[in-house]
Amino acid sequence: MKITIKETPAKTILVKSGLPGTDWVINPYNGCPFACMYCYAAQIARWKHPNDEWGSYIDVKINAHNLLFQELTKLQKKTGTKNFGSIFFSSITDPYNGVEAKYQLTRKCLMVLRDFGYEGEISILTKSPLVTRDIDILKKLKNISVGLTITSLDDAVSRFLEVHAPPVTKRIEALSELHKRGISMYAFVGPMLPYVVQKENELEKLIYTLKQIGVKEIWFEHINLNARIKDRLFSYLRKTNPSLIPLFEKTKVFAYQKNLDALIYKFVRNHSIKIGGGSVIRHNKPHN
């Protein structure tokens, strides 16, 4: 897919979060070339691109780091502290999407937070091993954790649904490297795909594999199939693999979700893994 890249200055960058568990979000980009078929941001972030296909455009907030410095300074003057609450990268893009390799806006924002001496929690969630490029800066941040999204152990599954995102095997390698280099890290298993339920041992294998590379905390999330996400996902499945549609339909059934939750609680207990987010398996909350 051809991607249209547009450099555009933002008016604000540190934005009050509507997501539970985080106070602020930073989105150095609008749009995401990874083009995941279940992406909730596909609807949220497209107000400037109502007719463009998700994944086909990205707006680069070219002044993100300068703006962040100004906004942090202003908040410090107002509050008298260097901790305004938790900051999350990112809610409507992947902070390490492909164009980050060139523009380095996430890196520059992290440098601003480092130089400012930000004292609040900073959390990053990505599907890209590019995050390991920034280990030098991550090491200097006081309160940082980095998550990689792992929805299966199979590159074919990630390629099918997370169309242009780096393969899951590379993400697992990135988690392992973060761990070895002393960066606090976690895995995000979300959305949980019918694939891990159809083959019960796959879910346990996934949890076991993550544990083997040093993961101590996993966040789990059920798939969000609201009307718009479903439209886009199902229209893709109709073209590619219609037999999967009933399996995805089933994920909305209460009994299905309850059984899946029970399996997760059993497996994390077996492997002494902590569930992130206050031990809560999240239901239908959108995320990267």
Using CB under 6 A as the criterion, which residues of the chain lie in contact with ligand SF4 when the complex forms? Answer: 32, 34-36, 39, 41, 93-94, 127, 162, 165, 288
Residue among 190 and 194 whose Cβ is closer to ligand SF4: 190
Residue among 98 and 268 whose Cβ is closer to ligand SF4: 98
Minimum Å gap between C-beta 38 and ligand SF4 is 7
Residue among 38 and 267 whose Cβ is closer to ligand SF4: 38
Give the DSSP per-residue string, the chain: ---EEEE---S--EEE--STT-SEEE-SEES-TT--TT-SHHHHGGGG-TTSPTTSEEEE-TTHHHHHHHHHHHHHHHHSSS--S-EEE-SSS-TT-TTHHHH-HHHHHHHHHHHHT--S-EEEEES-GGGGGGHHHHTT-TTEEEEEE-S-S-HHHHHHHSTTSPPHHHHHHHHHHHHHTT--EEEEE-SPPHHHHHSHHHHHHHHHHHHHTT--EEEEB-----HHHHHHHHHHHHHH-GGGHHHHHHTTSHHHHHHHHHHHHHHHHHTT-EEHHHH--B-S----
Minimum Å gap between C-beta 94 and ligand SF4 is 4
Residue among 107 and 127 whose Cβ is closer to ligand SF4: 127
Minimum Å gap between C-beta 49 and ligand SF4 is 14
Minimum Å gap between C-beta 97 and ligand SF4 is 6
Residue among 94 and 217 whose Cβ is closer to ligand SF4: 94
Minimum Å gap between C-beta 33 and ligand SF4 is 8
Residue among 10 and 32 whose Cβ is closer to ligand SF4: 32
Minimum Å gap between C-beta 193 and ligand SF4 is 13
